[in-house]
Amino acid sequence: MKEFFNKLLTGMSIGIVVSLIPNALLGEILKLLIPNFPFLQHILDITTIIMSLLPVMIGVMIGISFKLTAIQTASVGIAAMVGSGAIQKTADGLFALNGIGIVVNTGITAALTVLFVKFVGNRLKEYSILLLPTLSILIPGMIGYLILPYMKSTTGLIGVAIAKTTSLQPVIMSIIISVVFCIIILSPISTVGVATVISLSGIGSGAANLGIVAAGIGLAIASYKANALGTALAHVLGSPKIQMRNFFMKPKIIIPMLITAAVLGALAGILNIQGTPYSAGFGLSGLVGPLNYMHLADGGWTPQNITIMISIFFVLPIVLNSVLIYIFSRKLKMIKSEDYKLHFD
């Protein structure tokens, strides 16, 4: 069971990062350039479409993690798409992309499909290419499709629980939201999905974004010795979700990041760091968080706001995480570099 869970999370992590990185890196920058260079709209549209292919990528990466055959891997990919909710039928009978779907349900559907194709094995013989994809859609795929409404409700409840914290004093509320999103970004739950469901905006969005910043920068610093520099940077430029497997195996590895998130969350409440439901879930990817803060800050791009943005989104996360990682690794011996090792074989 532990090995199954490890492979499942590894596949999900890779699929999520590969699908989301193009838009995360280019999205906000393209939006700034499009008014002067309209032809760039096509690139932005393409990266948005790629995001909606996340369920297929998750399914395929999970199939590869389990070393399935080509037909089995493709079957897991299409079944995952069926259970994701990433495509909806409109009132006109057309099919439209619906964001990235419900990531948790995508993972559940993919897991059921892996179990199904392993159970079927070689029983279908030469008919595998004809029957396995269809059966994967009709059995595990449809199970995922049927439980989708319930998983949407569950995700919504989590969002409502986070939204309730907004009724607290701003600083306390910001600390709670920042820490919660620092944890959610390392789970199969979509931070963008949660933030969108509850329309998290204002200081709440800023705090959520800083929680993800704390996780991304902290994990990049903690993991660079155990991984290549490019892989370490992927925590910041892509998504901290690539550490999802390690987090579930050893939750203590994010203690330094949680403390950093709490400090940054408090500062979000004090300094009025704001954002939108979209920016709440992305951290520093594509500079979504910092750019949205500058757009919403009183006065815009003033020297004071620029100083706050650089300090809160870059300097403090690096300093706080570096100090805390040193304390927890060298002094307290609670974590070590190997805890953050990523296996993409």
Q: What is the pLDDT of residues 124-147, one digit of tens each?
A: 888 888 899 999 999 999 999 999
57 pLDDT more than 80: yes
**Residue 73 and residue 65: Cα distance in Å, rounded?**
10
Domain boundaries, the chain: 1-151, 168-345
Max Cα-Cα span within the chain: 69
25 pLDDT more than 80: no
Q: Kindly indicate the confidence band of residue 56, based on its pLDDT and cuts at 50, 70 and 90.
A: very high
167 pLDDT more than 70: no
Q: What mean pLDDT, rounded, does the chain reach?
A: 87
For range 110-114, the mean pLDDT? 95
Answer with the residue of higher pLDDT: 318 or 21: 318
Geometric angle at alpha carbon 86, from 81 and 91, rounded to 5°: 120
Q: What is the pLDDT of residues 218-273, one digit of tens each?
A: 999 998 888 888 888 888 877 788 888 889 889 999 999 999 999 999 999 899 89
